[in-house]
Amino acid sequence: MGLLVGLLAVTPTVFRLLALLRVGIPQFTVAEIPGPGDVALAVAVGTLQDLCVAGVLLIPVLLVARRSRTAGVWTLAGLFVASHLYFLLDLLLYQARRIRMSATFLEFLKFPKPFLDSAWSAGLGMLLLGGLVVLASGAMAAKVGFMLLPTRGSSVGPQRARAFIGAFLFVFGGTVWATEGLPRTTHYASSNIVFRDLFRIVYDRESRWSDPAPASEAEIVERYLSPAAEVFERLDPEYPLLKRTTGFTGPSHFPVADVDGPPPHVVLLFIESFRAADVGVLGAVHQPSVTPRFDALSDQGVLYTEFYGNGVQTTRAVIASLFGVPPRFSRRAVQSDDVDYPLVGLQDVFSGAGYRTAYYHNGSLEFERKAEFFAAHGFEEIEGDQDVMDRHPEARGTSWGVDDEWLMGDLVAWLSAREVRGEAGFLTAFTVTNHHPWEAPPGYEPPVRASPPPGEYRDYLGTVSYSDRALGLFVDLLDEAGLKERVVLVVLGDTSQPMGEHDRNFMLVRHLYEENVRIPLLIWAPGRIPGPVQVRDVGSQVDLPPTLMDIAGVSGTNHAVGTSLRRVVPERTAYLTNPFHLRLRGMRLGDHKYIAAEAAEREALYDLIEDPAEMTDISGAEADLTAEFRSRVRAMARTLDRLWDEKRFVPAVRD
The pLDDT tens digits for 334-355 are: 998 999 999 999 999 999 999 9
Q: Burial code of 375-392, b = ≥16 C-beta within 10 A, e = fewer?
A: bbbbbeebbbbebbbeeb
Q: Distance (Å, rounded) from C-alpha 127 to C-alpha 84?
A: 12
Is residue 605 within 8 Å of 587, Cβ to Cβ?
no
Confidence grade of residue 182 (pLDDT, cut at 50, 70, 90): confident
Is residue 403 within 8 Å of 436, Cβ to Cβ?
no
Largest interatomic CA distance in the chain: 91
Give residues with Cβ within 8 angstroms of 500, minimum separation 6: 456, 457, 506
Q: Name the phi and psi angles at 234, rounded to 5.
A: -75, 145
pLDDT at residue 637 greater than cutoff 90: yes
Can you tell me the mean pLDDT for 424-453?
Answer: 90
> Over the stretch 302-334, which tens digit does the pLDDT of each residue have?
999 999 999 999 999 999 999 999 999 998 899
Is residue 468 within 8 Å of 290, Cβ to Cβ?
yes
pLDDT for res 347: 98
Is residue 329 within 8 Å of 545, Cβ to Cβ?
no
Identify the weakest region by mean pLDDT among 166-170, 228-232, 454-458: 166-170
> How large a percentage of the chain has pLDDT more than 90?
58
Q: Distance (Å, rounded) from C-alpha 438 to C-alpha 506?
A: 12
Amino acid occupying residue 388: V
Is residue 389 within 8 Å of 397, Cβ to Cβ?
yes
Amino acid occupying residue 109: L
> Over the stretch 33-87, which tens digit does the pLDDT of each residue have?
667 777 788 788 888 888 888 888 877 887 787 778 788 888 888 888 888 888 8
CA distance readout (Å), 353 to 259, 345, 346, 385, 552: 17, 13, 11, 29, 10
Half-sphere exposure (Cβ direction) of 394: Cα atoms closer than 13 Å = 1
Amino acid occupying residue 66: R
Is residue 519 within 8 Å of 495, Cβ to Cβ?
yes
Helix (H, G, I), strand (E, B) or coil at 300: coil
pLDDT for res 354: 97
CA distance readout (Å), 360 to 105, 428, 480, 573, 587: 26, 6, 21, 30, 31
Residue 114, burial from CB neighbour count under 10 angstroms (0-12, 13-18, 19+): buried
> Over the stretch 557-606, which tens digit does the pLDDT of each residue have?
999 999 999 999 998 999 999 998 789 999 999 999 999 998 778 899 99
CA distance readout (Å), 607 to 221, 312, 502, 590, 650: 27, 22, 16, 9, 38
Strands 424-430 and 265-271: parallel
pLDDT at residue 209 greater than cutoff 70: no
pLDDT for res 504: 84
Confidence grade of residue 430 (pLDDT, cut at 50, 70, 90): very high
Q: Of 412, 415, 396, 393, whose CA–CA distance to 404 is shortest?
A: 396
Is residue 329 within 8 Å of 644, Cβ to Cβ?
yes
Half-sphere exposure (Cβ direction) of 444: Cα atoms closer than 13 Å = 22
Report how far apart the first and last C-alpha atoms of the chain are (Å, whole number): 59
The three-point CA angle 11-154-158 to 5° equals 80
Higher-pLDDT residue of 204 and 492 is 492
Strands 518-524 and 533-540: unpaired
> Over the stretch 536-561, which tens digit does the pLDDT of each residue have?
999 999 999 999 999 999 999 999 99
Amino acid occupying residue 187: H
Can you tell me the mean pLDDT for 16-40?
Answer: 72
Report the predicted TM-score, pTM, of the whole model to 2 decimal places: 0.89
pLDDT for res 212: 55
Identify the weakest region by mean pLDDT among 36-45, 288-297, 416-425, 637-646: 36-45
Q: Distance (Å, rounded) from C-alpha 351 to C-alpha 556?
A: 10
